[in-house]
Amino acid sequence: MKKRDCLLVFMGLASLLTLADGAAIADPPDASESVRIARFQGDRRGAISLTFDDGLRDQLELAIPVLDRLGFKATFFIIAGRTPETDEEAQAKRAGDWGSISWPQLKALAAQGHEIGNHSWSHAALTKIDDAALNEEVNKSFDAIATHLGSPPITFCYPGNGFDARVKAAALERHLIDRERCFDFANTTKEDGTNVEVDRAIVEGKWIASITHGILNGYGAYPSLKVFEGYLQYVKDREDQLWVDTFAHVYCYTRERDDAKLTFDVTPGKAVVRLTLSLDEKIFSRPLTLVIAAKDAKDVRAVRAEYELPFKVLSDCIQVDAVPGAAPITVTWR
């Protein structure tokens, strides 16, 4: 499968209602629920992860400034065996070459909140190699990322987006999630500037992943930096409905959301909520958004074990972000 042939990724779908025109829309939240876990962080309707493949210096020098300006964190899938040890070695490569971002530069990106994912050791066609070579492609890269960056990768991206059951099993032996499908902005944006996959994610309540290689240099480069910025601005303009975060963060949220046990006791002006997980809390520790029905609430407090929790007050509800745990969460308002 060619990289340009990536499709929309479907994960954590709600049940769907069919519309008269053949489209589909996610079921709206049940208004009768006094407390619920939001589908996505911030109770947004959809989610998107911006992913960049192959570790091209173009991504560091051109994409990162745009991401920083828009406040986005992205996932960079790197080819560990092609990654230089020093900045000088990286600079000696062309901006569109595989592995033209160094390990120190990748470590700095991770420290800024971006995700570094595994894109294999050498970018081999994984479906065409034997088990021993497959094991090396997946695990040698895993170990190199863990050693150089101080923590192991959570996500895996198949070279050329090519995989089968054998390859998938090898990837998921040490990674939590793989990127199976994705979309290319250039192939999904219409002449009027609208992007069908971004819009569909919002309408249908989906998590999608975009794919980018070169910005101005290398495979799949954009016609101009302005075009690249325009695609990301389209996402930014819909951020009230679309959660933008790394592949690992969105995955962990959806796993926690689906696993979490929610119990609560609501009285006028007060909600005591318990939110627990059966998952390994050392790995799954993303805050979930709790939505508490409360009309025109004032003097809101959200506390767990005497610690204040972040919250947002809307006209009809209070949103509280909390990591699942044993201690109850107490929200009060008037």
pLDDT at 28: 56
pTM flag (> 0.85): yes
Q: Convert the pLDDT of each residue in 65-81 to its tens digit.
A: 999 999 999 999 999 99
Say if residues 293 and 316 touch (Cβ distance below 8 Å): yes
- Give the separation between CA 225 and CA 215, rounded to whole angstroms: 7
- Among the ranges given (1-5, 306-310, 322-326), the one the predictor scored with the smallest mean pLDDT: 1-5
Low-confidence winner among 28-32, 67-71, 138-142, 219-223 (lowest mean pLDDT):
28-32
pLDDT in tens, 275-309: 999 999 999 999 999 999 999 999 999 999 989 99
What span, in angstroms and rounded, lies between the C-alpha atoms of 252 and 48? 14
List, for residues 206-215, the tens digit of each pLDDT value: 999 999 999 9
Predicted pLDDT at 30: 54
Render pLDDT for 158-196 as a digit per residue (tens, 0 to 9): 999 999 999 999 999 999 999 999 999 999 999 999 999
CATH top-level class for 3-28+45-251?
A: alpha beta
**pLDDT value at 19 more than 70:** no
pLDDT exceeds cutoff 70 at 22: no
Q: What is the pLDDT of residue 27?
A: 56
Q: Sorting pLDDT into bands at 50, 70 and 90, what band is 3?
A: very low
Q: What rounded mean pLDDT belongs to the chain?
A: 92
What confidence tier does 33 reach under pLDDT thresholds 50, 70, 90? confident
Supply 295's token pair: 């009309």
